Chains A and B, each alone.
Chain A
């Protein structure tokens, strides 16, 4: 069902690609712009990590919205297929 939906949507997804190819077929090659403005080496120094109490509230909220957790605070997800 989900897959059929994807197939149907896929066709309309490609429409704009066709129009793109059409619009740019005679356009000369250019450099690519990945960022709106360019900068390099924006780094931050290593330093003391955040404190445990600063993270405590987040942990509580994080575990509260997780679909499934165990009593230790792990997130519970599916078992890997290849282990079976």
Chain B
């Protein structure tokens, strides 16, 4: 899938592929594959008309934006005016968005075409794509297996070629995890680089919107479009735009790449073998492999689930069924309810210090640990998910489910960026390589991702 996005954009610019045709192909493929894959919850009825409008502009010789006619799938927790932002929940089953999220404004301004709303774990609470009220999503790269989550539909849509690029969100791995399981590219940007205005919260201090793409170029391009400060948002980094897509093809000779023995400790053997192979390859490409110490890494997981639950409890108080939708506790699925109950419990006055504040202390620890490791290296490379995706329908305990997230939550707790490219397969099931970078270290991360991709 090397460089498909770049090639498609060039084809559109040269007039070899019409935008209408591109949209029609996507719609056809969705129609054909969605009944089986269940990646989309809703398709945008305006997509074709928008394509025609862009086509007219192009014919008149107008310059189109960076996404010129590409089809973009949007995770159902992002508001797109006129489409349903359901969060894959009965709570918001009929909630038609009354406004565009800031990232959607930017995608539209860059002439991207919103093709539809993608399936997800309910309110992004899950790592398998199975908690959706609209049914689970299948994994196009390993049929019968979970696609990972919570951006399950977005990852599956890319893997099945149903659209060109997707927006997902990542609170504890929700972009990287399904990207890994579906064998595609995903990137969780540095916290605060991408506006969250219009993103329905899972955990406000951890959520970040990011791209899912068949190739590194597409991820870089979509991130370029959505990144940068928004004066109408308080908690953001004061960063203008970032130029990423045109600076990918720089080799990685001399780059310092960190690996931690902790990864091996936490990861299934088969997965680790693929990752070791990938690290070997990076070494062959000229990078210097450096061992870094991350002694408390695994403590991030329970701390994450505590912090996330408190914030999620707070965020869901607005779903009282009075203004729109239904009262969340009355209609939501079990995992969502579990997190609300947990959040309500540990934010109680008498437990605050013992649980919530203590978890925020672990966050300090994890953050410091990763930051100091990243002072010594340019990126840290390792597995994305410690185990292979289970078969759809397998019953896991909550703790078994949470264990998928050991290696992804640290980046969210620290606010740093992390990207995923396909490293290889175990018995035909994709395994993703995770490349974590410094705060605003997207360029270095993408550079390693691209170098790895190009060498395949």
| A interface residue numbers (CB < 8 A to B) | 2, 5-6, 9-10, 12-17, 19-20, 23-24, 27, 29-37, 39, 42, 44, 58, 61-62, 64-67, 75, 77
Contacts and interface: CB of A to CB of B under 8 A. Distances in A.
Interface stretch (B16-24, B90-98, B111-119, B373-381): B90-98
B319 interface: no
A32 B192 contact: no
Given A15-B399, A32-B357, A37 B324 contact: no
Interface in B324-370: 324, 329-330, 334, 337-339, 341-342, 345-346, 355, 357-365, 367
A58 B342 contact: no
B306 interface: yes
B98 A62 contact: yes
Contact of B235 (A2, A24, A35, A61): A35
B277 to A, nearest CB: 31
Contacts of A58: 98-99
A83 B337 CA distance: 31
Counting chain B residues whose Cβ lies within 8 A of the other chain, the interface size class is 35 or more
Given A16-B306, A61-B98, A27 B341 contact: no
A6 B337 contact: yes
B355 A16 contact: no
B439 interface: yes
Interface stretch (B35-43, B44-52, B297-305): B297-305
12 contacts: A2-B330, A13-B345, A16-B398, A19-B399, A20-B302, A20-B306, A33-B367, A35-B235, A37-B415, A42-B234, A58-B98, A61-B96
A61 B234 CA distance: 26
B323 interface: yes
Contacts of B346: 17
Contact of A32 (B235, B238, B341, B364): B364
Nearest to B94: A65
Nearest to B354: A21
Contacts of A75: 322-323
Contacts of B206: 36
Contacts of A24: 299, 302-303, 358, 362
Given A31-B361, A35-B205, A36-B206, A17 B95 contact: no
Contacts of B315: none
A44 to B, nearest CB: 8
Nearest to B302: A20
Nearest to B324: A65
Contacts of B238: 39
Contacts of A29: 361
Given A2-B330, A65-B94, A14 B321 contact: no
Interface string B275-316: 000000000000000000000101100110110010000000
Contacts of B296: 27
B439 A37 contact: yes
B237 interface: yes
B364 A31 contact: yes
B322 A65 contact: no
Which of A12, A33, A37 gathers most chain B CB within 10 Å? A33
Contacts of B341: 6, 9-10, 13
A44 B231 CA distance: 9
A36 B303 contact: no
Given A61-B98, A66-B323, A13 B338 contact: yes
Nearest to A12: B398
Which of A19, A32, A42 gathers most chain B CB within 10 Å? A32
Given A27-B299, A32-B363, A37-B192, A12 B338 contact: yes
Given A13-B342, A20-B358, A33-B363, 4 more contacts: A2-B330, A20-B305, A32-B363, A35-B235
The 5 A-B residue pairs with the shortest CB-CB distance in the complex, in nearest-first order? A36-B415, A20-B302, A32-B360, A36-B191, A30-B361
A16 B302 contact: yes
A6 B365 contact: no
A34 B363 CA distance: 9
Which of A6, A44, A75 gathers most chain B CB within 10 Å? A6
Contacts of B398: 12, 15-16
A62 B323 CA distance: 8
A6 B305 contact: no
A2 B338 CA distance: 13
Nearest to A42: B234
Interface string B390-408: 0000000111001000000
Contact of B237 (A17, A23, A37, A65): A37
Contacts of B342: 13-14, 16-17
